[in-house]
Chain A
């Protein structure tokens, strides 16, 4: 169903329907962000890359021969944008909705300390995930995009479901080993400092 509506919107976008193009982008920008995150150099900003992808999407949507292949096309575009980002320095565009200057008291999100701790742990894990090969990092991160299923990830990456499952399992194990390595190194540092 979702694939059908995507294909319809791609057809409309190709014939100049700007609302269809907007819908496509809104539906896929988080997904593109996951791909970018899996392939970008560490020091490059996700937002800048997404700006570039959005601009290229507008300019090149007419080049898509088969609307059913929009997602692989967008993935390739995202990967290429992420990979070339490290090789060129460009003026950075800011085509973003302005951030709200202030939030009313009742709009302030309720960030409990548990939630904050989880986010801090998440940042650490995401940082460690950067050490993994993109072949493993990408399916692992795609799993976080609104809970994409193995099947959906395999369609996007054009790989068998069993390969996706294996790569995610491997990625988790490698990530766990990185966590253990870091924790061990940290405890050794503490012990050394205590001895001094």
Chain B
């Protein structure tokens, strides 16, 4: 399909990109064919309608927020990874140097202390660690907004104890699903269950 000059000129006018020369050219075209003005009017009306429909279709975008919890989790993971990767690089260099200097037996396993990371984490940090690792591995998809279950004044009078339910979406792979049924003799039997899809429950 070829694009006629008229389409380009009308497009520029509709999009507010027309230069004075474009207007002159359009008027010259319209002098030969008055239908140009009607086609321009139609194009303007359709563009306005299209944009109204578009606005309606994407207004949901304004409600989609950055998942704040994931921001924190992702950043803390990256910071930790940077720290660890730097340390690991330094250790590797030291190991190579020690080996070349004959300071380490070649056949010996390089023993060392394994940092007990989990032991040093607060519950929040451990939870973030779980989210981060889970997301990296593809097992955790995200966290839904928390639901407040209860709230009561703190016993020591310092603030309010708020009970919340945190909801995590995870993906797990199962090799086979079974349902519990009863056979013709009235005995409980396991039977392969059909695959469950979105919107259904297990």
Contact = CB atoms under 8 A, between A and B. Distances in A.
Interface of A: 16, 18, 21-22, 25, 29-30, 32-34, 37, 46-47, 50-51, 54-55, 57-59, 61-62, 89-99, 115, 118-119, 121-126, 129, 140-141, 143-144, 147, 149-150, 165-166, 168-170, 172-176, 179
B173 interface: no
Contacts of A90: 141, 198
B7 A93 contact: no
Contact of B64 (A21, A50, A121, A176): A50
Nearest to A22: B66
Contacts, number: 170
B46 A172 contact: yes
A59 B74 contact: yes
Contacts of A57: 66
B129 to A, nearest CB: 15
Given A91-B171, A169-B3, A32 B66 contact: no
Main SS class of interface, A: helix
Interface of B: 1, 3, 7-8, 10-12, 14-17, 42-43, 46-58, 60-68, 70-72, 74-75, 78-79, 135, 141-145, 169, 171, 197-198
A130 B169 CA distance: 32
Task: Pick from A37, A90, A115, A125 the residue with the most CB of B within 10 Å.
Answer: A125
A126 B7 contact: no
Given A37-B54, A150-B15, A169-B3, 10 more contacts: A33-B58, A34-B58, A47-B60, A50-B64, A54-B66, A58-B70, A123-B57, A126-B53, A144-B54, A172-B47
